[in-house]
Amino acid sequence: DVKVTQSSRYLVKRTGEKVFLECVQDMDHENMFWYRQDPGLGLRLIYFSYDVKMKEKGDIPEGYSVSREKKERFSLILESASTNQTSMYLCASTGDGRGNQPQHFGDGTRLSIL
């Protein structure tokens, strides 16, 4: 069974801090994704990666960056946290797209910026 693990369930940080959200998957998946989930807005794609060191902007990349140094790990970075980045952050992974594989999600990190 695929396991996607996000390092923290809850995180509280202050405005202006640099914040790291970590995600690890154990199924050798090529593709990894970061979303934020907000009531009424659904899941919005922040960044995604289809290979090590490769990254693509999603629909709302402003204020975020990512790092994919190893295949199993995909990090989301808030360079200078702001209150409007308070949200639930979801990480997902999937294989190379053959066979119509679905995404597998982590439990999410609820991030509060004070």
Choosing from 1, 10, 40, 62, the residue that interacts with other proteins (CB under 8 A) is: 40
Q: What is the dihedral of CA 63, 69, 73, 77, to 10 degrees?
A: -20
Q: Is 85 in the site for other proteins (CB under 8 A)?
A: no
**Residue 42 near residue 106, CB atoms below 8 Å:** no
Choosing from 30, 63, 71, 72, the residue that interacts with other proteins (CB under 8 A) is: 30
Q: Is 102 in the site for other proteins (CB under 8 A)?
A: yes
Question: CA–CA separation, 74 vs 91, rounded Å?
Answer: 8
Choosing from 23, 105, 109, 113, the residue that interacts with other proteins (CB under 8 A) is: 105
